[in-house]
């Protein structure tokens, strides 16, 4: 009786809008902590060892993904896909571009300022990443024409461009989808998209130099406006979610799009980027990390539907 009462209380607690709010905060905090993790790895291993071991660390993320794909538990698949995506992006994209730009090509960061000697923040790895926009758009086109996609953005494009009839009905049901690889690819493409967004808006070759160009100011204010409206609209949908696994996956783009504002505020010097200097803000980063752990544990312990646990009921059973 006591156990049934406790389960009922948990079920009442994990109702909209709590599920959406918790997953949004978790994702928003996770983005900052991912920056911190990258900085700490480079600091503790040293640059050369980071370049040496990052391919192995990325492979460890692929091994995690392999275990997630084998699981039938949607909640477990989602968490594994999330962490694997963060690790592989960091090790096989960011650290690799860093090595290629700084070490292999010997590229210098883009300089600006009155004396032309100030680093604008566009380090070699980000200049390389900015050049991948064409590849990103090509891959996004692929998902736009994928009839089995369940991404709301791509579904919206399919509907607006009249693609649904030509593409035909989806060949996959919910139980046919593996959420480990879905979450993994979502992390990868959402991170890539948001990086490209910021890099294009910060590029002095496109919008002029900060502090010297009205276009730079207008573009980045417009970026804040679009990011706020877009993430705000998605947030109103997120707070209606009941399933924690679905909410966590939906919170990935919501949190990352809203983070665009953080990058712009940091660029204008209106926000201290404590997540890239954790040693100077030990207390603050410790509190943020503790909040991430607590929220993560709460989501893991939250009541799950049978389908989230891989227990599908057969029709007519």
Give the 3-state secondary structure of residue 279.
coil
CB 126 within 8 A of CB 196: no
- In angstroms, rounded to a whole number, what is the distance separating the alpha carbons of residues 14 and 243? 9
Total-model pTM = 0.89
Beta-bridge mates of residue 240: none
Question: Cβ neighbours of residue 24 under 8 Å, at least 6 residues apart?
Answer: 235, 238, 251, 254, 255
Domain positions in the chain: 22-105+125-165+178-309
Beta-bridge mates of residue 118: 112
Q: What's the pLDDT score for residue 226?
A: 97
- Residue ranges for the chain with pLDDT beneath 70: 1-11, 111-121, 172-176, 310-317
Residue-wise pLDDT tens digits, 228-277: 999 999 999 999 999 999 999 999 999 999 999 999 999 888 988 999 99
Q: What's the pLDDT score for residue 119?
A: 60
Give the 3-state secondary structure of residue 118.
strand
């Amino acid at each position: 009786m006591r156990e049934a009462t406790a389960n009922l209380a948990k079920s009442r607690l994990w109702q909209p809008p709590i599920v959406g709010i918790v997953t949004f905060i978790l994702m928003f905090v996770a983005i900052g902590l991912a920056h911190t993790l990258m900085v700490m790895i480079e600091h503790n291993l040293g640059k050369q060892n980071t370049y040496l071991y990052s391919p192995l660390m990325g492979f460890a993320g692929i091994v995690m993904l392999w275990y997630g794909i084998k699981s039938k538990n949607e909640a477990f698949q989602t968490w594994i896909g999330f962490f694997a995506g963060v690790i592989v992006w960091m090790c096989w994209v960011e650290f690799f571009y860093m090595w290629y730009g700084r070490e292999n090509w010997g590229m210098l960061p883009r300089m600006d300022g009155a004396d032309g000697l100030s680093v604008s923040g566009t380090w070699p790895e980000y200049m390389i990443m900015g050049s991948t926009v064409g590849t990103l758009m090509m891959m996004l086109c692929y998902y736009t024409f994928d009839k089995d996609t369940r991404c709301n953005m791509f579904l919206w494009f399919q509907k607006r461009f009249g693609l649904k009839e030509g593409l035909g009905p989806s060949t996959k049901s919910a139980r046919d989808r593996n959420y480990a690889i879905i979450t993994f690819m979502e992390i990868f493409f959402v991170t890539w998209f948001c990086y490209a967004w910021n890099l294009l808006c910060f590029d002095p070759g496109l919008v002029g130099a900060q502090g010297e160009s009205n276009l730079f100011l207008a573009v980045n204010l417009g970026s804040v406006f679009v990011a706020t409206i877009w993430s705000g609209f998605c947030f109103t949908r997120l707070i209606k979610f009941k399933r924690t696994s679905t909410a966590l996956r939906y919170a990935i783009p919501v949190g990352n799009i809203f983070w665009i504002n953080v990058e712009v505020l940091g660029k204008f010097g209106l926000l201290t980027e404590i997540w890239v200097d954790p040693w100077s803000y030990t207390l603050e980063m410790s509190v943020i990390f503790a909040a991430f752990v607590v929220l993560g544990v709460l989501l893991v312990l939250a009541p799950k539907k049978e389908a989230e646990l891989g227990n599908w009921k057969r029709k007519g059973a």
